[in-house]
Chain A
Amino acid sequence: MILGFSLLSVAIWLPILFGVLIMATGGDRNAPLARVLALLGAILGFIVTIPLFTGFDKTTSAMQFVEIHDWITRYNIHYHLGVDGISVLFILLNSFFTPLVVIASWKVIEKRVAQYMAAFLMMSGLINGVFASLDAVLFYVFWEAMLIPMFIIIGVWGGANRVYAAVKFFLYTLLGSLLMLVALLYLYNQSGGSFSILDYHQVAIPLTAQILIFIAFFMAFAVKVPMFPVHTWLPDAHVEAPTGGSIILAAIMLKVGAYGFIRFSMPIVPDASRELAGVIIALSLIAVVYIALVALVQTDMKKLVAYSSVSHMGFVTLGLFIFNSYGVEGALLQMISHGFVSGALFLCIGVMYDRMHSRNIADYGGVANKMPVFAAFFVLFAMANVGLPGTSGFVGEFMVIMGAVKVNFWYALLAASTLVFGAAYTLWMVKRVIFGAVTNQHVEQLTDINGREILVCSILAAAVLGMGLYPLPFSEVMHVSVSDLLVHMARPKL
């Protein structure tokens, strides 16, 4: 409790209020003030979420830090917040990234600074709302509302083809969301007039209806993950988004989709989930293998990392739908790790882009000669992307593969192929960009990263290494919630 408000409410509304405040600073004359306010809001936003972790009871799968008020009594909708071992980590991850994004955009964004910073802070609060909502309508409101700032961020501060990317991003996600809304309304009737997600976990639903609901949820969540074949918005959005937008998109927003599978699809329609797991696994494996091959041929660094994200998220959905604790916990760890790693990679690409105004691999070569400190960080993050033991990338992938072996050898084999392909596309890019002789005079003029950039990179490097060497604090938080989820799922709900 802070000043009588519950922690989760503060985690949601504090960044949003700061966002409003920053917008009120107005035009670019007040840009320094906007930046300082944004940093203050982001850091405060992170600090208020720390008690969520330290005060978290790891021995129960029940919802904690619960807050419930009447909201729309006409439809029995409540302002109902709470976290369990699955969602708490994502709130932390999100709040952790907001200050980093603010620092990373400190000098880079020069036009309409206040609006940019405000959009990020508001989005941060809204994403916390998505992870904390236990009421379906409240969830939906946060889920949709976060599209608005992201749409503006891509469209205003993005690259050349930004309008196309922004509109595609918005319409893709809106389609899925609206279908989910119909599924939620059906559940409202089926449950006798409740919008509580926890009530939905207990409602009996016939198999045909379960399958239809699963498909509706799938449309919403698969687009966000994104899964093959609805992933095509992601490379466009990533390439055109400004660095901060890419970081949040990769590190946080993709996790929202996978979180939806865990919070909605799996517990609400467990029978349909089991029934259709084969399809999801197949799509996941296609993503893992095929998208990795697509990544191999990219000439644009951001596109390469974007496809790499799709491939890694394939791992996540694979882990979720093999329904054992290795798989699900591995998937969750992979989500967090991927947040750190992909965020860091986009940040590094942003650092180079700010200096060279190019994302083309061909325009680079021998960067290590001119930017040795930067090169060290970049190689570390690339190795984490590959899944080198000792980095965070290893833990999740290893657990998912272990889980997959228990189910089917071939799943595991195909999934493990990513270790080869991932190494291929990542290291080949590193070789062409970082190593070798200096290829052209633009590279010759590069200057190494400054203190601000070193700070952000070091924080992320510490996170990547820390999680890789000692993942226990992460896994023990989720352990009870995951095993209870699996027990819940094993019971038929027809």
Chain B
Amino acid sequence: MDYLATLSPLYAEIFLLVMACTILIVDLFVTSLGKTPTYLLVQITLFGCAFLTVSTYQPGIVHLFNNMFVDDLMSDVLKLLSYLSMSMVLVYSRTYLMVRGLFTGEFMVLLLFSLLGMMVMISASHFLSLYMGLELLALSLYAMVALQRDSAISTEAAMKYFILGALASGLLLYGISMLYGATGTLEVNAVSDVIARGAADKNLLVFGLVFVVAGLAFKLGVVPFHMWVPDVYHGAPTAVTLLISSAPKLAVFAFVMRILVEGLQPLLVHWSGMLIILAVLSMAVGNIVAIAQTNLKRMLAYSTIAHMGFLLLGIISGGLDGYGSAMFYAVVYVLMSLGSFGMIMLLSREGFEADNLNDFKGLNQRSPWLAFMTLLLMFSMAGVPPTVGFYAKFSVLQAAVSAGYISLAVIAILFSLIGAFYYLRIVKLMYFDAPESHATISVQPGSGLLISINGLALLALGMLPGSLMSICAVAVKQSLLLP
């Protein structure tokens, strides 16, 4: 009994695994198209996970399983946000997938397994558990991208994702093996200690670090390791794109924090230089190439690349300001991304994908409310106050300037100016142009309500961003034991 009690930080993960397996079986007996019982069960599972995470909260940092697993405030916050975004993904995508015949039990079970992967990534403090979580997430996502198996473009995207993802995993694993060779351990904290003592071979470490950073860059989707992002975002069913662009970003953020900041902090001088290059290239390529896109999903893919560059800027700046702002940026990005892809699905209907820029023409005349929500989303992405996107950029820039990276901050704002152009273009299409089609937009009550909450949340958080900022800062501070 005592042993079970010590496992309490893991209850949410265990519960999720059990439920995912149960749902897999239960779903066999659900034949209705809407899959209502399965759907409700999944939502209940997510709610149960949230309940368990909150109720098993312990102050401080708890290590379990010989330091394979760590439970701290940052992981709790990120997990709660992951449950929330997964639940939103389900609400947004239900109708969209239903009319395409894709709202199957597999989708939901894979979604739960990918969430489990993310949770393992968020809470791992050992290179092996980190890798295990990453692979669980990635394998679930590969399958989900290929969900629409009779679509050539989806299959191509899945293939590309799988091959490049496997390559990235290989790189990462190779880098990890180098680190193991140099330090003789795989525990994140122990690696950090060994390096800090100077007991490891510097050359070997830096050699391994290059591969680790390359692997991470693949997973983050930053330039020059970004090639899979536009194709996968474009090719996957929009519901899956929504999933990929939401909670996994939180998990990858945690992943980067655990490996680079906790594990390889003594090598800061080496990896921060690499990250600077990645960040600047991402902001440049992401923002400039996005201008040339006519497909909204591709455009948002490039915008993601640019946003990830901005997020890296926070990590580069370091310290409480830097890591706190990067986490805040990740959370805000997920919120914006959920809304944007949710909007595409909301405007799509049977046999029609609203993923072309021209599909947004004259939206203000067809549905002023949805147009206004998209306006909020786009201005938030562009970082214009009073939306929360501004504070995300603000806090990262603040960290960069106070860390002395003023020129980097100026570069970042120049590229976000370029970025503002393509977000503005959406607003222009919606408000200034005449609609191309007058087909009525039928909004499901659930997703319609959710998109309103999502859009207004951007505005409300923009008016009062203080609490979310403080949560992120406190989480990072306690988890990394920052002064």
In the assembled complex, A145 has its CB within 8 A of some CB on chain B: yes
A479 to B421, CA, bound (A): 43
Q: In the complex, which of the residues A171, A174, A182 contacts B409, with contact meaning CB atoms closer than 8 Å?
A: A182
Q: In the complex, which of the residues A26, A145, A167, A181 contacts B424, with contact meaning CB atoms closer than 8 Å?
A: A167
In the assembled complex, A163 has its CB within 8 A of some CB on chain B: yes
Q: Which of A152-194 contact B (CB under 8 A)?
A: 152, 155-156, 162-163, 166-167, 170-171, 174-175, 178-179, 181-182, 185-186, 188-189
Q: Which of B334-378 contact A (CB under 8 A)?
A: 364, 368, 375
Instruction: Say which one of B119-127, B178-186, B245-253, B463-471 lies at the interface with A.
Output: B463-471
In the assembled complex, A115 has its CB within 8 A of some CB on chain B: yes
A112 to B432, CA, bound (A): 12
Q: Chain A 186-218, CB within 8 Å of chain B: the 1/0 string?
A: 101100000000000000000000000000000
Residue of A nearest to B385 (CB): A141
Q: In the complex, which of the residues B386, B397, B421 contacts A182, with contact meaning CB atoms closer than 8 Å?
A: B397
Residues from chain A with a CB closer than 8 A to the CB of B397 are 181-182, 185
In the assembled complex, A75 has its CB within 8 A of some CB on chain B: yes
Q: Is the interface of A mostly helix, strand, loop or mixed?
A: helix
Residues from chain B with a CB closer than 8 A to the CB of A166 are 428, 432
A86 to B427, CA, bound (A): 36
In the assembled complex, A491 has its CB within 8 A of some CB on chain B: no
A27 to B368, CA, bound (A): 9
In the assembled complex, A443 has its CB within 8 A of some CB on chain B: no
A188 to B416, CA, bound (A): 22
Q: Chain A 129-151, CB within 8 Å of chain B: the 1/0 string?
A: 00000000100110011011001
Residues from chain A with a CB closer than 8 A to the CB of B421 are 167, 171
In the assembled complex, B420 has its CB within 8 A of some CB on chain A: yes
Number of interface residues of A (CB under 8 A): 36
A181 to B413, CA, bound (A): 9
Question: Closest CB-CB distance, B416 to chain A, in whole Å?
Answer: 7
Q: Which of B114-141 contact A (CB under 8 A)?
A: none
Residues from chain A with a CB closer than 8 A to the CB of B428 are 155, 163, 166-167
The answer on a CB contact under 8 Å between A74 and B470 is yes
In the assembled complex, A445 has its CB within 8 A of some CB on chain B: no
A174 to B414, CA, bound (A): 10
The answer on a CB contact under 8 Å between B466 and A72 is yes
Q: Which of A38-80 contact B (CB under 8 A)?
A: 71-75
In the assembled complex, B410 has its CB within 8 A of some CB on chain A: yes
A178 to B396, CA, bound (A): 13
The answer on a CB contact under 8 Å between B385 and A145 is yes
In the assembled complex, B162 has its CB within 8 A of some CB on chain A: no
Instruction: Say which one of B61-69, B165-173, B231-239, B398-406 lies at the interface with A.
Output: B398-406
Question: Closest CB-CB distance, B398 to chain A, in whole Å?
Answer: 5
Number of interface residues of B (CB under 8 A): 36
Residues from chain A with a CB closer than 8 A to the CB of B384 are 144-145, 147-148, 174
The answer on a CB contact under 8 Å between B466 and A71 is yes
The answer on a CB contact under 8 Å between A74 and B394 is no
Question: Closest CB-CB distance, B287 to chain A, in whole Å?
Answer: 13
A491 to B394, CA, bound (A): 32
A170 to B420, CA, bound (A): 9
Residues from chain A with a CB closer than 8 A to the CB of B432 are 155-156, 162-163, 166
Residues from chain A with a CB closer than 8 A to the CB of B416 are 178
Residue of B nearest to A112 (CB): B364
A185 to B395, CA, bound (A): 10
The answer on a CB contact under 8 Å between B424 and A170 is yes
Question: Closest CB-CB distance, B456 to chain A, in whole Å?
Answer: 12
Residues from chain B with a CB closer than 8 A to the CB of A167 are 421, 424-425, 428
In the assembled complex, B47 has its CB within 8 A of some CB on chain A: no
Residue of B nearest to A187 (CB): B401
Residues from chain B with a CB closer than 8 A to the CB of A163 are 428, 432
Given contacts A141-B386, A189-B401, whether A73 and B466 have CB atoms under 8 Å apart is yes
Residues from chain A with a CB closer than 8 A to the CB of B394 are 137, 181
A163 to B416, CA, bound (A): 21
Q: Which of B374-396 contact A (CB under 8 A)?
A: 375, 379, 384-386, 390-391, 394-395
A429 to B402, CA, bound (A): 54
The answer on a CB contact under 8 Å between B466 and A141 is no
A174 to B402, CA, bound (A): 23
Residues from chain A with a CB closer than 8 A to the CB of B23 are none
The answer on a CB contact under 8 Å between A171 and B420 is yes
A181 to B464, CA, bound (A): 19
Question: Closest CB-CB distance, B392 to chain A, in whole Å?
Answer: 13
In the assembled complex, B103 has its CB within 8 A of some CB on chain A: no
Residues from chain A with a CB closer than 8 A to the CB of B414 are 178
A140 to B432, CA, bound (A): 27
Choose among A152, A182, A186 the residue with the greatest number of B CB atoms under 10 Å from its CB. A182
Residues from chain A with a CB closer than 8 A to the CB of B401 are 182, 185-186, 188-189
Given contacts A140-B385, A174-B420, whether A182 and B406 have CB atoms under 8 Å apart is yes
The answer on a CB contact under 8 Å between A178 and B385 is no
A186 to B413, CA, bound (A): 14
In the assembled complex, B323 has its CB within 8 A of some CB on chain A: no
7 pairs, CB–CB < 8 Å, chain A vs chain B: A75-B395, A137-B394, A141-B385, A166-B428, A171-B424, A185-B402, A188-B398
Given A141-B386, A162-B432, A185-B398, 17 additional A-B pairs, CB 8 A: A71-B464, A72-B391, A74-B469, A75-B395, A112-B364, A141-B390, A156-B431, A156-B432, A166-B428, A167-B428, A174-B384, A179-B410, A181-B394, A182-B410, A186-B406, A188-B398, A189-B402
**B residues at A contact (CB < 8 Å):** 364, 368, 375, 379, 384-386, 390-391, 394-395, 397-398, 401-402, 406, 409-410, 413-414, 416-417, 420-421, 424-425, 427-428, 431-432, 464-466, 469-470, 473
9 interchain residue pairs of minimum CB distance: A178-B413, A141-B385, A185-B401, A72-B466, A155-B432, A74-B469, A144-B385, A189-B402, A145-B386
